[in-house]
């Protein structure tokens, strides 16, 4: 029904639309792409290695192996620690796209927490904006860590 909640006073973060938001993004998050280098079993999109997608404050890490994804997650952890940022593990998950349901789900850890795993046979679970990009992937099997 139409019930009102009591007023909430935010005590952290930046208000949506705040003019300082782009500056904070540039100072804290803009250089995150430099982190995801090295041998991480990158997914290839039309021959180009891809390790992550970003949209606003959402980050999706991708790899063709669980070992590669764990390495990306460790790189994210190092970046977050250096920048004094936190990752909301409660909003994070690992998605395994694989037609072979016999493969065991990976244990991907962020710090000491194992991230929840979803195994799917297709990319239908992805948001439409990301799914469009995934259609052109050359690889069948991929491991995805989605951080919000």
Q: Tell me: the pLDDT tens digits for 91-146?
A: 888 877 765 555 666 788 889 888 887 777 665 544 433 433 333 333 434 445 55
In a domain? residue 115: yes
In a domain? residue 28: no
In a domain? residue 17: no
Q: 123-129 — which CB contacts under 8 Å span 24+ positions?
A: 123/97, 125/95, 126/95, 129/55
In a domain? residue 23: no
In a domain? residue 106: yes
pLDDT in tens, 71-90: 989 999 999 899 888 888 88
The pTM assigned to this predicted structure is 0.69
Number of domains composing the chain: 1
In a domain? residue 6: no
In a domain? residue 4: no
In a domain? residue 25: no
Range of 134's domain?
40-147
């Amino acid at each position: 029904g139409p019930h009102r909640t009591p007023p909430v006073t935010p005590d952290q973060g930046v208000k949506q639309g705040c003019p300082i938001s782009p500056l904070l993004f540039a100072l804290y998050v803009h250089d995150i792409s430099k982190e995801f280098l090295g041998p991480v079993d990158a997914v290839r999109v039309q021959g180009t290695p891809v390790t992550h997608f970003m949209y606003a404050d959402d980050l999706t890490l991708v790899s063709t192996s669980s070992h590669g994804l764990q390495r990306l997650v460790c790189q994210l952890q190092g970046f977050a620690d250096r920048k004094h940022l936190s990752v909301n593990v409660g909003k994070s998950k690992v998605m395994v796209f694989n037609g072979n349901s016999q493969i065991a789900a990976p244990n991907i850890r962020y710090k000491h927490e194992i991230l929840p795993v979803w195994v799917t046979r297709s990319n239908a679970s992805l948001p439409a904006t990301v799914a469009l990009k995934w259609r052109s992937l050359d690889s069948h099997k991929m491991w995805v860590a989605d951080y919000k």
